[in-house]
Structure 1
Amino acid sequence: MNEDEYVLNDESVVNSHGFVLLNSAGRFERYNANPVMLFNHDGANLIGQMTGLRVEGTKLIGKAVYDEEDTLGAKCKRQAKKGILKGCSPGIIINAVELRTMPGGEERVTVTDWELCETSLVSVPSNRNALRLYNRQGVEIPDDQVKLSIEALLNVNKKTEEEMKEIILTSEAYVALGLKSNEADGKSISAAIMELQARVEKAEKELEDQRKLKANELVALAIKDGRITADKKEAFEKLALADYDTAKSTLEAIPAKESLGAKVTHSTGKTAIADERKDWTYLKWAKEDPEGLKKMKAEAPEAFEELKKHIR
């Protein structure tokens, strides 16, 4: 660092207020729009700006730009160059705090959400990384109330976590999730819900596939029976998916197309049933009912010509 650079925060250090300030948890948008640098956190003593904030390792560093036209600003610059004025202190608003366990087992109060309001050069830092706290209205919090403010935030977070962990389920819910009453912690419930959701999605897909198959079969049969033409297939499939019963009753109300055999009367005078003669060939007609074949030629010439195409 050069003589104009200062350490605003070192997240490896527990300050005199008893907490650690995480650099990554800081909000700097409003500060960067107006990066004021004060002397001893006094708004009346504006001595310049602290710009170019950056993180190096565990340290948050800024560069001081002095207002040398201001008497105090010029004085601070001279003293900083001489190594007399070394202290820098951030003024912050704390939004969230939690208790974290360090690798060595030590518990530390850790600020996980904070906003930088101003920076100050200070003649006598109160600790290795001095800072000044403000509430959300921008009013300074006296040192003797800082601990209470931190504890209040810590209790709010702790209460929220406890409320999230405390989940009450009915006996029916235990059965539905496949859990025992002594397994009702957040992780096991979350896992059971995810598994149940996967089963539901699978069942819904299988049901949808069955609905599509049923609709397709209904429409295919209607086309085969001559109730509708192939160009109506898509429209009736959509109707069947939306309302199967209505589609079924609509298709059944449409008369089926008669087969060739049904158009001809047997020589005995008995009307032929379509299913009886649907597979009859020309030769079978000639052998089994030659009179009926003659009648077909006279009364249904189109059917007769169609039959002749398949003589075998």
Structure 2
Amino acid sequence: MSDKFKKIDKEFCVTDNSVNVYKYRCLSEGLQLDEVKRNPIGYFLHGTEEFPREMGVLVRWEDFRVDGDKVYAKPCINLSHPRGQRTVDEIEGGFLNAASVGKITVLDASSDKSLMLSGQERPTVTKWFPREISLVDIPGNYNALSNLYDAENNELSLVDFEKITFLNMSNNTLDAAKILTALNLKAGDEGEVVTAINNLVDKANKSDEYKTDLDTKTKELKDLKDETVKKQVEDLIDKGKTDKKLTNEVAAILSKSYATNPEDLKALIDTMPAQVSVTNGIKDGDPELKKFEGKSWDDLYASEELETVRKKFPELYTKLKDEKYPNLKD
């Protein structure tokens, strides 16, 4: 069995109380070491594209030792792993000297300012354990830190703990006042902070739904506006025809040209005079029209005046044509 693994008599510091690159820290005194010892495995760089975790466990940690805030352990390398012998050579040659906790399970955390060190911006993890401890070339870098998880192995963010610990208003009165103001609450409403935060989260989660609803309402408003404009244009055209200002031909042209502009259409129709009917023209004694009184289509055709009537008095021309050719009526 000894040819399948090799224990190296060299201690690695697997964790301490320092601030990591993510600006939070895990307290060594909160490390649940018994949980770690139940399955003290690890990989290379927490698993890489070349050596993924599916290739198997690379290292088993033994001889855990706590010294102050530092926790040490010794690696036992799996020589059956594709990177096994290479890892042994790098450790014994002094090229691989660091370890990093990974897949951290957070059991408790705090934003208590008294627990924060210089450079720390995020909460302090006060109770935790890693599910694996990997060998790494650079400890604490972005490749050597994995995501955080809760006790049920669900991925989480320290923001969850930040929201909870912010509710401890006695720790920082100024922060409490700012939070209440931001949430549109007042002193005495502390119990409503969680509800207000949850409402904000719900609104954020529903942003896509709100956008879809807004788009729908916007379209409905546009359709209503278009329908209103269309009705205004139709009413103006109908009134223009009723007032004898528009013939059917002119009405059709104006309907198309001013389909979206009822204001200018109204201004134009208001300037147009009403057309004088044949009957009223004769009754009012229009001398030029009166000379055609009593004449038929044939009379005008014979006197070569039919073209004059068509140009100057289209209503009379249409009346005589309908009388002459009743079957040609539109």
The TM-score bracket by the shorter chain reads 0.3 to 0.5
- Provide TM-score, normalisation by structure 1: 0.43
